[in-house]
Structure 1
Amino acid sequence: MVIFSYLLMCMIFGTTFLAIKVGIDAGAPPFFSAGLRFLLAGIILFIWMIWRGRASVSLLFRKEMMFTGMGLTFGTFSTLYWAEQYVSSGIAAVLSATGPIMILLLQTSILRQKASIASMSGCFIGFIGVILLLLPSVSVEVSLFWMLGCIMILIGEVCYSSGVLYSKHVMPRFADTSPIALNAVQMMYGGAMLLVLSLFTEHVHIGALLTLHAVSSLLYLIVVGSMMGHSIFYWLVAKTNPVFPSTWLYISPLIALGLGVFLYNEVVSWLAGIGVITIIVGIVLVNIDALRQAIGKSEGALEGMQSK
């Protein structure tokens, strides 16, 4: 179930960078569209979870949800949506792939949690693989706003990493609450903050939001990107560890490349091929300890069956 959910999440998130770019290019204000996306997705999910008896209204008044929404949703996507006005989706994907590295760095430097050499090496190798994978298709036009956009994405990844670690820390306090409900509330908080930011920084033109590209982008990001993708991510954080789900940032460019080859007959360069291999090596190294444990459990179970 964990592996299937992880691959499904990667498939979903592999398309969200492009979907965000489509909406912004159609004229949708970045902060407003991001806020609307997460607020609506959070409200729908939360109502559904209350109806199923998996959440209570009191969850809306927990400060932990506000802090999580501030990091995971507001800090991450306010910077990403703004930056994608000036930065290509390929560059955004490369810079966002620093997320797993930042999580490990924060774990070791601030939380004083020891990270294995294999995990650290895997994160850096995976990041290099993403660069190699996307390098042939990335175009760069350096300008002041391009540089600011790159810096903002990196700041957003610091917020993302902090939000992931904080959410993992507070989840035991909500043992009786579904991770999907927790994700819904943090999205509501983050979406509301984005709308407040939009109120003070943007001029919203309803006409720009009603174009086919803007509406389709928003609906896709609400239903597929947020309600499905982010709920799966939050569930994986609860069931595994903060680093493993975040490695979607390495896998998703791979999926995007595969779709391009399959649907549009795009040619894969030898450099991209090396990137694919490098990413796979990095992912294996990041999760080498978990893989060893899984293999050990499987062997133990097999021996137990044979002894019977």
Structure 2
Amino acid sequence: MQAVSSPVTNSPTRFVLWGNLISVYILWGSTYLFIHFMTEQMPPLYMVSIRYLVAGALLYGYARLTGTPAPTRTEWKSAGIIGILLLAISNGCLSTGLQYIPSGMAALLGGLLPVYLLTLNWVSFGKKRPSNLALAGLVVGLIGIYLLVKPDKLQGTGDLDSKLIGVGLVAAGNFVWAIGTLLTPRLSLPSPTISSGIQMIVGGLVLLPFSLAVEPVSLFSIFDAPSKAIGSMIYLVIFGSIIGFSSYSWLARNASPQLLSTYAFVNPVVAMLLGTTFAGEIFSSQSFVGAVIALIGVILITLGRK
């Protein structure tokens, strides 16, 4: 994705903005299904770290080969900080938390991200109170997420302590993701493509030693992965990381936090539809109502942005 160098006219800016939003809405919504396929028979932290290392190397190499200037030491440090927050800590917490709680419960907790974004931007980062319409959209969106993932049926099999660990990890991961998102436009970062590459490389390098220490893998276990896991990882590298994450990084620099936060309401809807179509998951009438309500929340937040 291209960074907008200056606000020349409203039309190109609006087109690029919504193009990146749609990319995050659709492509990141599809990653739930492919992460499931990727980690069915392979440890999650290991596969996530390999995914980021491959995607990061491709992005960084492409940026340098096409003439993007080498980042300065300050830009490396800034992009590395964002990579540690978003990809190593946040996604590491999510991947580990999913070992303790059902994925539907994790999706419900993911709906709290807009609350973190708007609240942190209100009380700390931006000191900007969201409009009443945006706050109403948050409430409506959270109700939709609640209905969408059918929490009344998410009992799981683990004990209470395990569930508390899982909930705590996923909630902490979302909180750190919100911090990284709001911190992004406040740091000195290189161009979007090379910045995304650095973030993925650093995130992968931080995650890999943890994986080797706690998971039953070696450095070269990727060569023993089944074809389904490899194919899913290739999809995630191209569409989840290179395209989707680059779009998110651009939005973190150029979109308002409350508009950016709408992806947390749309992604579960996309994930539920794909899961129903390709993984045999049941899309109940309650889930359909939840999806509609979540999208209404997105519309209210969009209309209420200042």
| Percent of paired sites with the same residue | 25
Letter in 2 for 1:239: N
- Please give the alpha-carbon distance, in whole angstroms, between the structure 1 residues aligned to 2:52 and 2:171: 21
Q: CA deviation at 1:92?
A: 1.9
Letter in 2 for 1:75: I
Among 32, 51, 61, the alignment partner of 2:65 is 51
Residue 105 of structure 1 corresponds to 119
Report the secondary structure of 1:34's partner residue.
helix
Unmatched segments (≥5 aa) in structure 2: 1-14
Letter in 1 for 2:212: L
- Please give the alpha-carbon distance, in whole angstroms, between the structure 2 residues aligned to 1:70 and 1:264: 32
Q: CA deviation at 1:154?
A: 0.4
Q: In 2 relative to 1, CA 106–203 (structure 1 residues): closer, same or farther, beyond 3 Å? A: same
- Please give the alpha-carbon distance, in whole angstroms, between the structure 1 residues aligned to 2:72 and 2:239: 27
Letter in 1 for 2:32: F
TM-score (norm 2): 0.84
Deviation string 1:140-192 (CA, Å, 9 cap, x unpaired) is 2152323311210100001100000010222xx34xx4322211111111111
- Please give the alpha-carbon distance, in whole angstroms, between the structure 1 residues aligned to 2:276 and 2:47: 31
Judging by fraction of residues, say which structure has more helix. 1
Unmatched segments (≥5 aa) in structure 1: 294-308
CA RMSD of aligned residues (A): 2.6
Q: How many aligned positions are there?
A: 286
Report the secondary structure of 1:79's partner residue.
helix
Q: CA deviation at 1:105?
A: 1.3
Letter in 2 for 1:53: G
- Please give the alpha-carbon distance, in whole angstroms, between the structure 2 residues aligned to 1:87 and 1:56: 42
**Is the aligned partner of 1:35 residue 2:52?**
no
Residue 82 of structure 1 corresponds to 96
Residue 252 of structure 2 corresponds to 237
Residue 158 of structure 1 corresponds to 175
- Higher Rg: 1
Q: In 2 relative to 1, CA 47–251 (structure 1 residues): closer, same or farther, beyond 3 Å? A: same
- Please give the alpha-carbon distance, in whole angstroms, between the structure 2 residues aligned to 1:212 and 1:139: 31
Letter in 2 for 1:72: L
Residue 21 of structure 2 corresponds to 6
Report the secondary structure of 1:54's partner residue.
coil
Q: In 2 relative to 1, CA 70–262 (structure 1 residues): closer, same or farther, beyond 3 Å? A: closer
Q: CA deviation at 1:263?
A: 6.5
TM-score (norm 1): 0.83
Among 110, 119, 128, the alignment partner of 2:143 is 128
Q: Does structure 2 conserve the Cα–Cα contact (< 8 Å) formed by 1:20 and 1:81?
A: no
The 5 A counterparts of 1:165-184 are 165-170=182-187, 173-174=188-189, 177-184=190-197
Deviation string 1:64-98 (CA, Å, 9 cap, x unpaired) is 11211121111111011112223332222211121
Deviation string 1:43-81 (CA, Å, 9 cap, x unpaired) is 110110111123414368632112111211111110111
